[in-house]
Amino acid sequence: MTPPIRLAHDDDSGPLSALIAASFAEYPGCVFVEAELPELRRPATAFAAKGGMLWIVDGPDGRIAGSLGIVPVPEQNAAELAKVYVDPAFRGAGLAQALFARAMDFAEQGGFAEMTLWSDTRFTRGHRFYEKLGFMRWPGERYLGDASESWEYHFRKRLRPGP
């Protein structure tokens, strides 16, 4: 049974940063530098300012078990996923799929033609998850110039026929 999903609050900053830092630590060379992610200072406000939403699943002991955010990208008629993380203790239990269902509802209600996301090239487990959900890796990569020297893959999922 999936724990309840709720909208993020700005005071989720610390536990959300801890979840992301732990996720980054799973991959060699991927380091968490809080200053590179200023949206984590006030996560609910940051997503709302872009017309998006960020969902959280609370875990035990004040930790966050999972997160998933989405923001509109009107110029592409798309909704972009962000901050998709699940604590290893909760993986394989349907938590990520339940969070993704919220994002699908958001995208469908917004009438978006597709959903997109960017993912660090090292996050292979996440890539398999996205492909299982129907995302396809799109040509091209982008370099972030961050402390981790990150390169990201672009993924897209068609939600309805386009022009």
Summarize pLDDT for 42-87 with one digit per residue, the tens. Answer: 999 999 999 999 999 998 888 999 999 999 999 999 999 999 999 9
11-53: per-residue pLDDT in tens?
999 999 999 999 999 999 999 999 999 999 999 999 999 999 9
Give the Cα separation of 147 and 163 in Å (integer). 39
What is the model's pTM?
0.93
Percent of the chain with pLDDT over 90: 88
Which residue segments constitute the domains of the chain, with CATH numbers given? 5-158 (3.40.630.30)
Backbone angles phi, psi at 45, to 5 degrees: -65, -40
Q: What are the C-alpha distances in Å from 104 to residues 17, 38, 56, 115?
A: 24, 26, 16, 8
Per the listing, tokens 């110039």 go with 145
The rounded mean pLDDT for the chain is 94
